[in-house]
Copies of this chain bind each other. A is one copy, B any other.
Amino acid sequence: MSKIDWVGFDGDDTLWKSEDYYRAAEAAFEQIVGHYIDLSDKRTAQHLLAVERRNLRIFGYGAKGMMLSMIESAIELTEERISARHVQDIIAIGRATLDHPVELIEGIREAVAAIAAAHNIVLITKGDLFHQEAKIVQSGLSDLFHRIEVVSEKDTPTYTRVLRELDVVPEHFAMIGNSLRSDIAPIVGLGGWGIHMPYHVTWAHEAEHDLADNTPRLLQVEAASELPTALAKIEATVVDA
């Protein structure tokens, strides 16, 4: 009998590529704004991030909120000079972000299948419900998961609720994800296990966390193929305890 009853997986940049598309969207946004202002002082990206953060409280995460923040940011940066056609171009950027093909992270299908063979697995992903559901379907991975939870924020209250609904104590739960802030810190804080699998790019908002370097119950892997072994290490530790 496994000591880790449930294993959680993040979606964006853990199962499938995501941040690359948002970065491409930001580059396209800067190009549009560049028709009106000098981009050399780097303030465009900073301004967009500031608008996105102030709007999180009312828009939540996801591409639709990004589109609206981009339009607001462009209007402010251009001092209301942006044309209707360029606003339409910004909407087209967001539409492309919502409609991009789902590309799986290398080796993740095999890793998920291997872990699902010995554990209950749950997908815990945040953002826009409609977009996340579309990506889950397109990923072809949904049948492997015993539960799927699309949540609006990945913080301690949310994980507490999800673990209660799964009827699992944190000590017997491991979470796999690319974001220390959203996937790892809340679970480790609750007494659970984290497996951090960094992605090559991280949104500035997700890069902020207050985990210490020597955090207990936290493992790191470099590739999806290392996930089953990392989980086995955790199991050995739980059994030994």
Contacts and interface: CB of A to CB of B under 8 A. Distances in A.
Given A67-B68, A84-B81, A60 B152 contact: no
Given A80-B84, A133-B152, A91 B68 contact: yes
Nearest to A165: B147
A20 interface: no
Given A58-B98, A58-B99, A152-B130, A84 B78 contact: yes
Contacts of A3: none
Contact of A64 (B64, B88, B151, B152): B64
Contacts of A128: 60, 128-129
Contacts of A131: 60
Interface in A47-70: 58-61, 64-65, 67-68
Contacts of A68: 64, 67-68, 91, 94
A87 interface: yes
Contacts of A59: 64, 98, 130
Interface string A137-154: 000000000000011100
B129 A150 contact: yes
Given A58-B98, A58-B99, A91 B64 contact: no
A2 interface: no
Contacts of A85: 75, 80
B80 A75 contact: no
A72 B99 contact: no
A60 B99 contact: no
Contact of A91 (B72, B84, B151): B72
A128 to B, nearest CB: 7
Interface in A154-202: none
Interface string A82-108: 111101100100110011000000000
> What 10 A-B pairs are tightest by C-beta distance, nearest first?
A60-B130, A129-B129, A80-B84, A64-B64, A130-B152, A75-B84, A82-B84, A129-B152, A75-B88, A80-B85
